[in-house]
Structure 1
Amino acid sequence: MKELNLPHQEPLKFARYIVSKDDILAVVKVQFNEIPTLPMLVEAAAQSSAAFDDGDEQVGFLVTLKNIKLLNKPIALEYDIKVIFEYQLDSLTYFKFEVYDKDIAVSNGIFIIALQ
């Protein structure tokens, strides 16, 4: 597992390690200090998109959320997040995400990151 390099500090750094990654799918291990809320899960998904960083040190900002769903109540402190690269349009990158506690889907949705 490769550790993610993020500018975030505790207690807002949730994304920890890249479990697996290919061109369009990354699985990232995320950890929380308390049972996460839906906004915390979404922030963890946005942080997890850093798995697609190509090393050019751009800064990303979460700019849009769409179809965010809480499927099951979070009860754990550690989750796997699947981040799916959809497409890029200029400086905007579109991602889908799915949060899992073992094999149980907890949350999913779409977010857009603006790169600077």
Structure 2
Amino acid sequence: MHLDRDAPVADRDRFRDLGKVLARDRPISLCEGDEYIVIIGDFNTTINSMGGSTLGSCTDVASMHGAGAGATWPTILPPIMGVAIDRFLVGRAYSPAEATMHIQRSVTGSDHWAITGSIPALSD
């Protein structure tokens, strides 16, 4: 997933309603519409610009582990100077506290550091 950042940070409503931006023609946000949703990718926004660590009923995994500010962009700077604009969100069916997100600094070829996520299998 990749969102273009075409507005200043003041346009917080755009990010609070991210599900509708992604769904385009659907009247309900992705996070509200499916408890089994997993969204990972380039949001081009920080947690602060999103309005917090949740988006509808989805929760940001890194934020739940106290790592919501781990730099994912740009790769040309040391991580301490970067910003976290890539996110891993999980829906209500998953426990963000049991999920993990890793920033893969060894992966090259992009202006973003790659992120990977894992969630535990659901029990029947």
What TM-score do you get using the length of structure 2 for normalisation?
0.29
User: Larger strand proportion, structure 1 or 2?
Assistant: 1
User: Larger helix proportion, structure 1 or 2?
Assistant: 2
User: Which protein has the larger Cα radius of gyration, Structure 1 or Structure 2?
Assistant: 2
